[in-house]
Chain A
Amino acid sequence: MVLWIILGVVVILAVFVIATYNGLIKLKNRVQEADSDIDVQLKRRYELIPNLIETVKGYAKHEKELFEKVTKERSSLVTGSTAEKVEASNAITDTLKSIFAVAENYPELKANQNFLQLQTDLTDTQDKIMAAQRFYNSNVRDFNTKLQVFPTNLYGKMLGFTDFGFIEASNEETKNVEVKF
């Protein structure tokens, strides 16, 4: 009799642990998917920047320093952790702002359809990076909560799960970044 009770308890515990394990795996995969969603947007930005430089170069040859700066920063969009890449993307937003400001001095460039489209595309990718980052963070929140609640917190670490870190918005980003001309 006692043996059966013990066996029953063990089975129930095992089922419970398996269920939370599977739940955690599901949420972890969502976090990772959200992470690669951010990457997709970063990559898009990475690919747009050379086009912008080419277009601007045609009108404003003398802005060499800016071109070099943005080219250098661009490479950090695809290297390092996601948080670092997002940080790099924020830095690029600032540099891009200077480039757009420079465009003010070149009326022909300002009227260039291609340039205008690139400008909105680049602003849009930054919005999309921020949106993807918010989605990532809400998935991280769900995962961390599931891992930290009782009783999962007692054995979650033993199953090999650890908390994910949030990708924080830098101060610059929380301000309304809108370039008005």
Chain B
Amino acid sequence: MATAYTHASSNKRKAWFWLVVFVLFVVGVGYIFSLALDMPWILPVAIAIAIFQSGISYWSSDKIVLSISRAKEIDKKTNQELYRLVENLSIASGLPMPKIYIIADSAPNAFATGRDPKHAVVCVTTGLIEKLDKQELEGVLAHEFSHIGNYDIRLQTIIVILVGLIALMADWFIYLRFFGGDDDNGNWVFVLIGLVLALLSPLAASLIQLAISRKREYLADADGALLTRNPDGLARALEAISKDTEPLEVANKATAHLYITNPLKDQKDSKKSHFASLFDTHPPIEERVKALRDMSM
């Protein structure tokens, strides 16, 4: 039977695999565009712009997210029990103590942000504290700690840069090729391939982004279970959160991927097709619960 360790390492391998695929994809698309347009500067310029844009959001992402979500920082005095749970997990994981924020919303949910473990923030809703018992809450917090320990925010940023690169290059390609005036440059085979890529690659890029995001959720589940030695706590918490039908008001499409489960609650009850699930930010709750229940410590 798979242990939490093998879960964690196979998840890590898969995430790396997808990241490598993604980089190759971006370089490949950029290369074909530059051949099609006969403009070799496309890729480096796009990289520079995408890094600059994301660099800013990377440094201040936590502040932006926290203010969008209307979260308030708490300390040991105002919420002793939560503070202590986080403190104990920081001891167990060896990570520095993160800042703790609370969103006043009765929909149970949580997320972690911050560019590295030293600037980490764990944010929970008041609904999460009210609706879960201590072990379940600990499971959720351990999941968030694992995101911090796995540098998922950093990974997320790199992926956003890559997705942005593709979108940027696709836009340029269409613009330069069809509105640029001089139509003679470039090989027509590459122009054709470039056109198809310009239309399809932004979609492919976001699909890879979502696939990686789902892998990281599984990984954080496995690592979180390892941290508390209690996969059942997180499994029960996930079930409780998914049974709760209330959507989180401060969440939106841009921040949905951060949360422990999809806060928008747009999933229908009927089983989704495989194709539709490609667009999910999170893996289905039942499968996450099943993976946790199958884990032997």
Contacts and interface: CB of A to CB of B under 8 A. Distances in A.
Secondary structure at the B interface, as helix, strand, loop or mixed, is: helix
B92 A134 contact: yes
A131 B88 contact: yes
22 contacts: A37-B91, A41-B91, A120-B80, A124-B88, A127-B84, A128-B88, A131-B88, A131-B89, A131-B91, A131-B92, A132-B91, A132-B92, A134-B92, A134-B227, A134-B229, A135-B91, A135-B92, A135-B93, A135-B94, A138-B94, A176-B135, A178-B134
Nearest to B227: A134
A116 B192 CA distance: 75
Contacts, number: 29
Name A's interface SS. helix
Interface string B131-147: 00011000000000000
A70 interface: no
A131 B85 CA distance: 10
B38 interface: no
**Looking at chain B, what size class is its interface with the partner chain?**
10 to 19
A136 to B, nearest CB: 10
B87 interface: yes
B94 A127 contact: no
A128 B87 CA distance: 8
Nearest to B87: A128
B77 to A, nearest CB: 12
B89 to A, nearest CB: 7
A111 B57 CA distance: 50
Interface string B87-108: 1110111100000000000000
Interface in B190-229: 227, 229
